[in-house]
Amino acid sequence: MIAFLFKRLVWGLLVLIAVAVITFFLSRVVPADPAAFLAGQNASEETVQRIRAEHGLDRPLPEQFASYMIGLAKGDLGQSIRTRRSVSTDLKQYLPATLELLTFSFVLYLAISFSLAVLAARHPGGTVDGTIRLITMIGTGIPVFWLGMTLQFFFFYKLHWLPLGARFPIRETVPPVVSGFLLIDSLLAGSLSAFLASLKHLTLPAATIVVNLLAVGTRLSRAALIQEQSRLYVRTARGKGLSPNRILFKHILRNALSPILTATTMQFGYMISWVILVEVIFDWPGIGLYAYQSFQVFDYSPVIALAIVSTAGFVIINLVMDLLYPVIDPRVQSVGS
Amino acid sequence: MILSVRDFAIGFQREGQNLVAVDGISFDVEAGETFVIIGESGSGKSLTGMSIAGLQPPTAFVSGSIRFKDREMLNRPDAELRKLRGPEIGLIYQDPLSSLNPVWPVGDQIAETLTAHGLADRAEANKRAVEMLERVRIPDPRRVASAYPHEISGGMRQRAMIAMALAANPSLLIADEPTTALDVTIKAQILELLADLKRELALTIILITHDMGVVAEVADRILVLYAGRIAEIGPADSIMLQPSHPYTAALMTSAMISQTPAKQELNAIVGGAPGLGAFPAGCRFHPRCPRAQDDCNTVEPPRRKFGAVELACHHPIEVAMSLQVARS
Ligand SMILES: Nc1ncnc2c1ncn2[C@@H]1O[C@H](COP(=O)(O)OP(=O)(O)OP(=O)(O)O)[C@@H](O)[C@H]1O
Ligand code: SF4
Ligand SMILES: [Mg+2]
């Protein structure tokens, strides 16, 4: 078990290093000069030179790379030219917002895709199954930015039900930071209105992500359920006189969990990439928006940091899932140990 | 009489056609006997056996009557059939590994037979599960109760399946090829166990098999199915020792010829059994029958009684004929 964990951690570390290397060189290949950009159009050559020197951009590429990697090993993600702070400081500020959106969307996605899959798998090929397939397919077919903007149009401009963007109303006081999740912190502060406000702000961005992923998620869960329905232990369960609901919830779901988990892990990767886009659409103050704004001024360090952080997120999720398998399915216990 | 089947038929719709898989099935099962259904693969043994418990495929259409303890089982609402499966009818199957839920401990699966029917609370059911495992002669019942199916041997699994099927004290056990997946020694042990349990618990057993070794071991009466129809039905001794139907005779001969028990299967007869939708006219056995004459190709043989034996054949083997003469 320990050896297994160790192997996975080393593997994860290698992936992270590879991502860092690739994004570093990709960012340097872009024929743009962040120093010039930052100095402005009328800046003198000296000013640009000075900014360049300040950020080490005048040194040769191998040297820049070496110092970046050394910094990285020490946990230093570099400086942001735009915010004039260390990227780590920025991440501390922006990461909780992203994590909250991601977690909320993920839970919503799991709950909805799973319920739809259960409904669809009851009578494969029936009307309910067909309707669910059609609706989720349409949801996936709509481009994310268009979907986000359409939701904004209806729920903000037309109905005035939900806010246009951001994470919290500007005029209200933000609850004291404990977990960094506004939903949790507002409850800890005992403020129901703050809780409802953050919930309202979460709704549209989360809905945009979930609607986009729903078709694949539902289809995968549905397939897993249908496959399990034809297993022989289901015949045994019927032979024992169990009701269809009991067979579904006590036997089939439990067995379908590991294939669904595998599919879900994959989906989580997509979800991370959609979050960045959705943050931009909804002006959500997370690392996606932070990296996007940095990228616009050719401020590289935050962009590389985003790549590393999201890869780390994916690696961690994979590890957690690997650790979950033996809990869910007693037969795979031996693989880890 | 615990079970009475009359003119039972079951079929499927395929490409707009009604294909009858099994028809004209009538037989009675007496309380306390071991009633064996034999026949080649595809002859309709499982369809017949499962329909008794209301477990025919949901796509199938059925007709006729199956009365179990004076209750009509065909077209009975599933909610009512469920109340009978477990407390009245127990079922075991061929492949005990995949027939058990892989992610539940064995004991919990046995206990569920009781809890799901409200026959015991959790603690009591768990206790009962261990008792049942002991009853099916599992040496370390407590350990096996908390083990997962993949952690115990094939023989143990089938014992656990039997414990599960009998936990709620049914009077009828339907066993669909319960020993087919097991090796010879384990097979013998399971058969012995079934015989013991039958005595101890006053069980009636309907056993489905194509293994003549199994038949010889346990059968009180035998039903021979061929291509969805009854070929012959009667006491085990007459069927095994003096078969009157050419098909039964061929079965017995092929079982005797093949030396190793593993080969004691029915498909040793020349040719293959016809599949669903390809049944020949007249007697369905005529293309393979050594005694076939012209009438066999066109006229379906009616079922006739010869003493305790009933068979459907125009030209049965003489032993039975002489029996008939002797008894009339
Ligand atoms: N769900 C189903 N849909 C369509 N046809 C079926 C279905 N179940 C069984 N059949 C057909 O009915 C016939 C009898 O099937 P059955 O399972 O009763 O055979 P069997 O005698 O038990 O054979 P085996 O020894 O292989 O188990 C076969 O031809 C089979 O193809
Ligand atoms: S009816 Fe004819 S073909 Fe059929 S078993 Fe009897 S002799 Fe053979
Ligand atoms: Mg069968």
Judge: A240–B161 Cβ closer than 8 Å, yes or no.
no
Question: Would you say residue A90 has pLDDT above 90?
Answer: yes
Judge: A236–B95 Cβ closer than 8 Å, yes or no.
no
Confidence bin at B257 (pLDDT 50/70/90):
low
The rounded distance, in Å, linking the Cα atoms of B290 and B295 is 14
Q: Which residue has the higher pLDDT, B172 or B276?
A: B172
Question: In the prediction, which pLDDT does B295 show?
Answer: 94
Q: Mean pLDDT over all residues of chain A?
A: 87
**B114: which chain A residues are within 8 Å (Cβ-Cβ)?**
none
Share of chain B above pLDDT 90, in %: 77
- Only one residue has tokens 């090993």, namely A73
Dump pLDDT digits (tens) for A227-260.
Answer: 999 999 999 999 999 999 999 989 999 899 888 8
Instruction: Please identify, by atom number, the ligand 2 atom nearest to the C-alpha of residue B295.
Output: 2
Token pair listed for A227: 């496959």
The minimum CA-CA distance between B116 and chain A, rounded to whole Å, is 6
Judge: A240–B164 Cβ closer than 8 Å, yes or no.
yes
Question: In the prediction, which pLDDT does B297 show?
Answer: 94
- Which range among A52-56, A261-265, B310-314 has the greatest average pLDDT? B310-314
Whether the ipTM is more than 0.85: the answer is yes
Range B207-226 average pLDDT: 92
Q: Please tell me what DSSP assigns to residue A174.
A: P
Confidence bin at B263 (pLDDT 50/70/90):
very low
Which candidate from A235, A241, A328 shows the least CB-CB separation from B93? A235
Q: Which residue has the higher pLDDT, B125 or A58?
A: B125
Dump pLDDT digits (tens) for B35-74.
Answer: 999 998 999 999 999 999 999 998 999 999 999 999 999 9
Question: Would you say residue B325 has pLDDT above 60?
Answer: no
The rounded distance, in Å, linking the Cα atoms of B50 and A335 is 38
Q: Which range has the worst mean pLDDT, B148-152, B250-254, B264-268?
A: B264-268
Residue to mutate among A227, A240, A252, with most B CBs inside 10 A, is A240
Strands (E), chain B: 3-14, 17-29, 34-38, 61-68, 71-72, 89-92, 172-176, 204-209, 221-226, 229-235, 303-306, 309-312
Question: In the prediction, which pLDDT does A178 show?
Answer: 87
Q: What is the spatial order of strands in the sheet that B71-72 belongs to?
A: B17-29, B3-14, B61-68, B71-72
pTM value is: 0.82
Confidence bin at B259 (pLDDT 50/70/90):
very low
The rounded distance, in Å, linking the Cα atoms of B25 and B9 is 7
Alpha helices in chain A (DSSP H): 2-29, 34-39, 45-54, 61-73, 87-122, 127-141, 144-152, 182-188, 192-229, 232-239, 244-246, 253-281, 287-296, 300-328, 333-336
Strands (E), B243-317: 303-306, 309-312
Q: Which range has the worst mean pLDDT, A72-86, A196-210, B192-206?
A: A72-86
Q: How far is CA B324 from the centre of its chain?
A: 29
Angle at A284 between CA A282 and CA A288, to 5 degrees: 105
Question: In the prediction, which pLDDT does A337 show?
Answer: 45
Token pair listed for B24: 């004209």
Range B102-125 average pLDDT: 96
CA distance to A122, B4, B7, B81, B173, per residue, from B77 (Å): 18, 19, 21, 6, 21
Ordered structural domains, chain A, with CATH: 95-285 (1.10.3720.10)
The minimum CA-CA distance between A332 and chain B, rounded to whole Å, is 10
Identify which of B37, B47, B177, B207 to mutate to test ligand 1's pocket (most ligand atoms within 8 A of the CB): B47
Question: In the prediction, which pLDDT does B204 show?
Answer: 97
Dump pLDDT digits (tens) for A5-61.
Answer: 888 888 888 988 898 888 888 877 776 777 777 777 777 888 888 878 877 777 888
Question: Would you say residue A111 has pLDDT above 50?
Answer: yes
Residue nearest to atom 10 of ligand 1 (CA): B21
Q: Is B29 helix (H, G, I), strand (E, B) or coil?
A: strand
Range B293-321 average pLDDT: 88
Question: Would you say residue A163 has pLDDT above 60?
Answer: yes
Question: Would you say residue B267 has pLDDT above 50?
Answer: no
Question: In the prediction, which pLDDT does B266 show?
Answer: 46
Handedness of CA B41, B44, B49, B50 (dihedral sign): positive
The rounded distance, in Å, linking the Cα atoms of B179 and B96 is 9
CA distance to A268, A269, B161, B209, B264, per residue, from A105 (Å): 10, 13, 43, 54, 60
- How many Å lie between the centroid of ligand 3 and the Cα of residue A250? 27
The rounded distance, in Å, linking the Cα atoms of B20 and B9 is 7
Surrounding residues of ion ligand 3, Cβ less than 5 A: B 46
**A251: which chain B residues are within 8 Å (Cβ-Cβ)?**
101, 104
- Mode of pairing for the β-strands spanning B61-68 and B172-176: unpaired
CB atoms within 10 A of CB B166: 21
Question: Would you say residue A169 has pLDDT above 60?
Answer: yes
Ligand nearest to the CA of B39: 1
Confidence bin at A93 (pLDDT 50/70/90):
very high
Q: Is A44 helix (H, G, I), strand (E, B) or coil?
A: coil
Question: In the prediction, which pLDDT does B320 show?
Answer: 47
